[in-house]
Amino acid sequence: MKSLVTGGAGFIGSHLVDALVAAGDTVVVLDDLSTGRLANLAGVADRVTFLRGSVAVRADVDQAMAGCDRVFHQAAVASVPATIDAPVDTHFVNLGGTLNVLESARAAGVQRVVFASSAAVYGETDGTACVEAATPRPQSPYAVEKLAAEHYVRVWAPLYGLPTVALRYFNVFGPRQDPSSPYSGVISIFADRLRRGLVPTIFGDGGQTRDFVYVADVVRANLAAGALDAPSGLVCNVGRGESTSLNALYGHLAALLGGPATPGYQPVRAGDIRHSLADISVARAALGYAPTVSVADGLAALVAGG
């Protein structure tokens, strides 16, 4: 099996590449290295074909797609605030790039496209678990881009007979999540600041909640989606189904890494969602998905460097 992983030098993509290589796949990575790093692929460098290029450029996608059986489309500008700062640029990557991947896959006769969508599509909720049938209420350019891209992915199945799956990841964490920008995932930022003896900042009162899911579980969901018999535009949540407040998250990490009892607080971030929690019944039924790593164990593994 030959698999293309777009965004394969990034946090989630590189863990997926490791798993595909371990399963015996021939793997091609297309990545522009805007946030990804070649170091993330160091362990498999001799077994992966790496192409530096953009999903926003059709010729780059076609080159990477040649001869592939399936595609795991992870490449995107993954930060909500980054899309608020530059919505036109991120539109062409997050939406235009997905359309390029679908059209290139269709032209190449690919058997399966698995797309990294996001819990952000749901928008504001009352804190109850999100079900896929709920009406999405995106509230940032990022969420609009992911939702529109997801619609393309879903529609390409019945329209063109291209088997697709869209996985709505909740808040993924684990090793290799890059903490180096203010746009990075909160766990990587908190851990990095605590390690350097700096006080982390919570935007808002810390009562906002997220469903944090360990990267290994997200990889398992992708592998299951990539192996489904006849997916036809399946859309499903990938989280743990467990809610953690930012204050509780900070408490966990400060206990593991040492740090002040309370972090700094700043105003709520624009475009932020208050609560985000997954109902994972569809993933359980359709993919046999069951999260295996608790938040506490995942944080401990992250801190231990593994």
Choose the contact partner of 269 out of ligand UD1, ligand NAD, none; CB within 5 to 8 A by kind: ligand UD1
Which residue in the set 4, 5, 54, 220 belongs to the binding site for ligand NAD (CB under 6 A)? 54
If one asks whether residue 164 binds ligand NAD (CB under 6 A), the answer comes out as no
Query: Closest Cα to residue 25, out of 4, 55, 52, 6?
Result: 4
Q: Are 243 and 177 in contact (CB under 8 A)?
A: no
If one asks whether residue 278 binds ligand UD1 (CB under 6 A), the answer comes out as no
Query: Is 142 among the residues known to form the active site?
Result: yes
If one asks whether residue 246 binds ligand UD1 (CB under 6 A), the answer comes out as yes
- The answer for 223, left when phi > 0, alpha when psi is -120 to 50, beta otherwise, is alpha
Which residue in the set 93, 114, 129, 249 belongs to the binding site for ligand NAD (CB under 6 A)? 93
If one asks whether residue 10 binds ligand NAD (CB under 6 A), the answer comes out as yes
Q: Which amino acid is at 105?
A: A
Choose the contact partner of 80 out of ligand UD1, ligand NAD, none; CB within 5 to 8 A by kind: ligand UD1
Question: Closest separation between CB of residue 257 and ligand UD1, Å?
Answer: 15
Q: Which of 122, 142, 152, 169 is catalytic?
A: 142
Which residue in the set 29, 55, 78, 194 belongs to the binding site for ligand UD1 (CB under 6 A)? 78
Which residue in the set 22, 33, 107, 159 belongs to the binding site for ligand NAD (CB under 6 A)? 33
Closest CB to ligand UD1 belongs to which residue?
Answer: 118
| Nearer residue to ligand UD1 within complex by CB, 102 or 120 | 120
Alpha carbon of 13 to those of 45, 174, 209, 218, 284: distances in Å? Answer: 14, 12, 25, 10, 22
Q: Are 65 and 109 in contact (CB under 8 A)?
A: no
Strands in 112-118's sheet, in edge-to-edge order, are 48-52, 26-31, 2-6, 70-73, 112-118, 164-169, 234-238
If one asks whether residue 118 binds ligand NAD (CB under 6 A), the answer comes out as yes
- Count residues contacting ligand NAD (CB under 6 A)? 31
State whether residue 269 is helix, strand or coil. Answer: coil
Label the pairing between strands 244-245 and 171-173: unpaired
Catalytic (active-site) positions: 142
Binding site for ligand NAD (CB under 6 A): 6-7, 9-13, 30-36, 54-56, 74-78, 93, 97, 116, 118, 169, 171-172, 178, 185
